[in-house]
Amino acid sequence: MNPVWRSQLLTIVRLELKRNFLRVRGLWVYLLAFAPTVIIALHAITSHGRCNLEEDTNIFAGIFQLFTLRLAIFFGCMGIFTRMFRGEMMEKSLHYYFLTPVRRELLVLGKYIAGVIAAICIFGSSVLIGFAFINGHFGSEGTNFVFHGPGLGQLGSYLLVTVLACIGYGALFLLMGLMFRNPIIPAVVILLWESVDNVLPALLKKFSVIFYLLPLCPVEVPVQGISGLFTVIAEPLPSYLSIPGLLCVSVLLLVWASRKIRVLEINYGTD
């Protein structure tokens, strides 16, 4: 990369990281991310002698897949990435970037990298701390499970899924922020689509992000109750296809966003 472009990119990333980490208005993202951690910590404190390691492993898997992945990371990325451009338009500050001699494609990439770093740090920390709580209150049994059993591998899988979710949803919501004046409406549509993934036909499942992430989770959460009657079983993608597939889709979304910003005209009167 051109040294000037590299310097500009690093400057954009640094500026955007300050916004994503230090803004008070982003406090709700932290609350959303660490809500399951608080629940797990309370469970670890109050459940001595009333649970076993296998049950708690399944509990953590359920919390991760049903709340952290489907809700916390989804809405957190929506809040972080849709504001990258749409928020600055509302604050009437985006033109300051456009007045500088910075390629607009670099602006997209810099904002995206900063958002991904922020999202991974926030949600990755939540997963890491929650995993430590769920296993730590078992003492030596939990330590052996983590360091001499499958625990460390499970943690790596959870963190990998978290990183990929931030990358995929981040690229999607960054593009949504550029395409729509009110990205909330398409975000709700996407949420509904992701939520009913288990009842979609096998072909349509492949058009959801969650389809590529769930097979990477180390512990399967069974579908119980009436929803299990409507679940459509699809052949999960192996990791050597799902990981590069999701990364390729993210790159395509970023390319689309880069093309979109080239023709973007700021009219604060309509935003």
Q: What is the pLDDT of residues 23-45, one digit of tens each?
A: 666 788 899 999 999 988 888 88
Burial of 130 (0-12, 13-18, 19+ CB in 10 A): buried
How far is it, in rounded angstroms, from Cα 72 to Cα 123?
Answer: 8
Q: Which two tokens stand for residue 228?
A: 């299990």
pLDDT at 225 over 80: no
Give the Å distances, CA to CA, from 165 to 98, 119, 161, 186, 213: 30, 10, 6, 18, 7
Count of H helices and E strands in the chain? 13, 0
pLDDT at 109 over 90: yes
What is the model's pTM? Answer: 0.88
Please report the pLDDT score of residue 235 as a whole number.
60
Angle at 71 between CA 70 and CA 74, to 5 degrees: 80
Mean pLDDT of all residues in the chain?
83
Distance of CA 222 to the CA centre of its chain: 22
Please report the pLDDT score of residue 165 as a whole number.
94
pLDDT at 107 over 50: yes
